[in-house]
C-alpha cells in the first residue's frame, strides 16, 4: 500500500456520518445545559428589564399597571425626562433636583471624609502590634449591619423625645453638645433647621446626621481594603525612606499614599457610585417619607416613590438619569485611574 492510499484511507476514516456529527456537535454544546437556568433567569430579570427601562422611559403618561384593555400610555417622547427634571410631575412628593442635590451632598462629603479617616485608622492599625486583631474586628463590625436597623439607632442619638412644649429628652447628641454650651438642635424632627437656596431645601442639620451615618457605615469596608493594601506594601520602601531620613508624615503622604493610590482611587470611586444608590439608611433614620415630604430624598428614593405611586414613566426616566450619573462616574474612574495611579 502506498503512502498516498493510506492517507486517503485515513481521511475516509475521519469522515463520520452526518447524524453522528450532529450528535457530536450537540454533545460539544452541553455547556449550555449548565448555564441554562442562569440564562433564563437573567433573560427575565436582568436583560429584559434593561431594554424595558429604555423603552418605558419614553412612554408618555405611562402607567404600567393599568386596567385590562387599556394601552397604559398616551404616546412617545421625552416628556417624562422634561417633567422629572423640571419637578413638574403633578403628583407632589419628591423633586428630582432636590433628590439629586441631597445625594450629591451626602456622597461628596461623606465619601472623602470616610476614606481619609479609614486611611488614618488603617495606618494606625499597622503601627500597633498588641490588640491589632481586636481593633480590626471592632472596626469591621458596622459592615455587617442592617442599614435600616442601624439607621433607626442613629436616629435615637439625635431625636428629641416629647412634644415641643414638654420635651422629655433632647437626646444623646444634644446632651453631649450642651457640655460645650451649645443649644439643643432639632436634628431630625419637624423643626429641623434648613436654609433655602432657590427652589432647593438645604436641611443642614439633617445632612449632618446623614453624613455622620454614612461615614460610620462606610468605614469598615474601606479599612478592610486599605489595611490589607498597607500590609502588602513592600517593607523595603520604608527602610529606604528611613535611610533617606524621611519623617513619619513624609513617609505617609509621599510614600505610603502613592503606593496604595490604586486602592484609594478604587475606594473613592466605588464609594461615590455606592453613595449614588443610597436609600435604606435614610429611610432608617428619617422614616419612609425620607424626612418631611422627601426633603431628604435620594435618587433611588425618588424612583421608588414613583414605582409605588404607579407613575411608571417617571420612575423609568428617573432610573435612566441615575444610570447616566453612574456612567459619568465610571467614565471619570477610567480616566482618573489611568492618570494618577502609580502602577
Partner 1 sequence: MKITIQDLTKTFPARHKGDKEVTAVNMMNIDIPSGKLVGLLGPSGCGKSTTLFMLSGLESPTSGHILFDEEDVTELAPEKRGIGLVFQNYALYPHMTVEQNIMFPLVNMRIPKPEAKERALDAARLVQIEELLNRKPSELSGGQQQRVAIARALVKMPNVLLLDEPLSNLDARLRLQTREEIKRIQRETGITTVFVTHDQEEAMSICDIMVVMKLGIVQQIGEPQAIYDDPENLFVANFLGTPPINIFKGQIKNGGVFIGDEEIMKTKHEDQEVYVGIRPEGFIYSPSGVLSLDVDHIEVMGRDKSVVSISKYSTKPTVRSIIDADVKLEDAPVLKFNLKKNKVFLFNAETEERIR
Partner 2 sequence: MKDLENKELLNQEEVTEVVEVEEAKALAAIDLNKEKARDKRAKIVGAILSYTFLTICAFFAFLPFYWMVISSLKPEYEYRRSVPTFFPHEFYFKNYAAVLSQTDTGSSGSFLQIIVNTLVVGLVSTSIGLVVIVITSYALARMEFKGKNLLFTLMLATMMIPGEMFTLTNYLTVSKWGWNDTFTVLILPFLVSIYYIYLLRNNFKQIPNSLYQAAKVDGLSDAGYLVKVMVPLTAPTLISVTLLKFIATWNSYIWPRLVNTQSWQLITNWVTRGFPDRGAKLYNGLYGTTMALTTLRMAAVCMVSLPLFILFIAFRKYIMHGVSKSGTKG
Query: Site residues for partner 1, window 3-32 (CB under 8 A)?
Result: 6, 10, 13-14
Of 29, 190, 234, 236, which lies in the binding site for partner 2, with binding defined by CB under 8 A? 29
Q: Of 7 and 335, which has the nearer Cβ to partner 2? A: 335
Q: Return d(Cα 75, Cα 61) in angstroms, integer.
A: 8
Q: Which of 77, 92, 162, 191 binds partner 2 (CB under 8 A)?
A: 162
Pick from 74, 175, 232, 250 the residue near partner 2 by CB under 8 A: 175
171 or 297: CB nearest partner 2? 171
C-beta closer to partner 2: residue 69 or 198 = 69
> Between residues 207 and 279, which has the closer beta carbon with respect to partner 2?
279
* Residue 10, contacted partner among partner 1, partner 2, none, CB below 5-8 A by kind: partner 1
Residue 6 or 149 with smaller CB distance to partner 1: 6
Smallest separation, CB 315 to partner 2 (Å) = 5
Cell of 251: 513617609
What residue 257 binds from partner 2, partner 1, none (CB within 5 to 8 A, per partner kind)?
none
The reply to whether 82 sits near partner 2 by the rule CB under 8 A is: no
Per-residue 3-state assignment (H helix, E strand, C coil) for the chain: CCHHHHHHHHHHHHCCCHHHHHHHHHHHCCHHHHHHHHHHHHHHHHHHHHHHHHHHCCEECCCCCCCCCCCCCCEECCHHHHHHHHCCCCCCCCCHHHHHHHHHHHHHHHHHHHHHHHHHHHHHHHHCCCCHHHHHHHHHHHHHCCHHHHHHHHHHHHCCEECCCCEEECHHHHHHHHCCCCCCCCCCCCCCCCEEECCEEECHHHHHHHHHHHHHHHHHHHHHHHHHHHHHCCHHHHHHHHHCCCCHHHHHHHHHHHHCHHHHHHHHHHHHHHHHCCCHHHHHHHCCCCCCCCCCCCHHHHHHHHHHHCCHHHHHHHHHHHHHHHHHHHHHHHHHHHHHCCC
Residues 275-294 that bind partner 2 (CB under 8 A): 276-277, 279-280, 283-284, 287-288
State which of residues 61, 101, 113, 145 lies at the interface with partner 2 (CB under 8 A): 145
- Which residues from 38-77 bind partner 2, rule CB under 8 A? 38-39, 41-42, 44-50, 52-53, 56, 64-65
Shortest Å distance, C-beta 9 to partner 1? 9
Q: Which stretch binds partner 2 (CB under 8 A): 79-87, 88-96, 97-105, 155-163?
A: 155-163
- Rank residues 8 and 50 by Cβ distance to partner 2 and give the closer one: 50
Candidates 6, 8, 116, 172: give the one binding partner 2 (CB under 8 A).
Answer: 172
Angle between helices 204-232 and 132-140 (to 10 degrees): 140
Give whichever of 208 and 307 is closer to partner 2, judged by the CB atom: 307
CA–chain centroid gap for 150, Å, is 17
The correct pick among 161, 240, 328, 334 for binding partner 2 (CB under 8 A) is: 161
CB atoms under 10 Å from CB of 9, counted, come to: 11
Which residues are at the interface with partner 1 (CB under 8 A)?
Answer: 6, 10, 13-14
Amino acid at each position: 500500500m502506498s503512502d498516498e492510499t493510506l492517507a486517503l484511507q485515513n481521511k475516509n476514516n475521519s469522515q463520520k456520518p452526518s447524524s453522528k456529527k450532529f450528535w457530536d456537535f450537540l454533545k460539544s454544546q452541553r455547556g449550555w445545559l449548565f448555564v441554562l437556568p442562569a440564562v433564563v433567569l437573567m433573560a427575565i430579570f436582568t436583560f429584559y428589564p434593561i431594554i424595558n427601562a429604555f423603552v418605558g422611559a419614553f412612554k408618555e403618561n405611562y402607567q404600567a399597571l393599568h386596567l385590562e384593555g387599556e394601552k397604559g400610555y398616551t404616546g412617545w417622547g421625552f416628556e417624562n425626562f422634561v417633567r422629572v427634571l423640571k419637578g413638574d410631575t403633578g403628583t407632589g412628593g419628591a423633586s428630582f433636583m432636590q433628590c439629586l442635590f441631597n445625594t450629591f451632598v451626602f456622597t461628596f462629603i461623606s465619601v472623602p471624609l470616610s476614606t481619609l479617616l479609614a486611611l488614618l485608622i488603617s495606618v494606625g492599625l499597622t503601627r500597633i502590634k498588641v490588640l491589632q486583631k481586636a481593633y480590626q474586628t471592632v472596626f469591621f463590625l458596622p459592615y455587617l449591619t442592617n442599614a435600616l436597623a442601624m439607621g433607626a439607632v442613629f436616629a435615637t442619638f439625635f431625636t428629641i423625645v416629647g412634644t415641643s412644649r414638654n420635651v422629655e429628652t433632647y437626646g444623646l447628641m444634644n446632651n453631649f453638645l450642651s457640655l460645650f454650651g451649645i443649644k439643643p438642635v432639632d436634628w431630625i424632627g419637624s423643626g429641623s433647621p434648613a436654609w433655602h437656596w432657590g427652589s432647593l431645601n438645604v436641611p443642614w442639620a439633617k445632612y449632618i446626621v446623614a453624613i455622620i451615618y454614612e461615614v460610620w457605615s462606610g468605614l469598615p469596608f474601606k479599612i478592610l481594603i486599605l489595611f490589607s493594601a498597607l500590609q502588602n506594601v513592600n517593607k523595603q520602601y520604608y527602610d529606604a525612606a528611613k535611610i533617606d531620613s524621611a519623617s513619619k508624615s513624609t513617609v505617609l503622604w509621599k510614600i505610603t499614599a502613592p503606593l496604595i493610590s490604586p486602592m484609594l482611587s478604587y475606594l473613592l470611586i466605588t464609594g461615590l457610585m455606592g453613595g449614588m444608590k443610597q436609600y435604606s439608611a435614610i429611610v432608617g433614620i428619617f422614616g419612609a417619607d425620607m424626612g418631611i415630604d422627601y426633603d431628604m430624598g435620594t435618587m433611588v428614593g425618588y424612583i421608588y416613590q414613583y414605582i409605588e405611586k404607579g407613575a411608571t414613566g417617571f420612575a423609568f426616566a428617573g432610573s435612566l438619569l441615575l444610570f447616566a450619573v453612574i456612567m459619568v462616574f465610571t467614565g471619570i474612574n477610567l480616566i482618573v485611574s489611568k492618570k494618577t495611579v502609580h502602577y
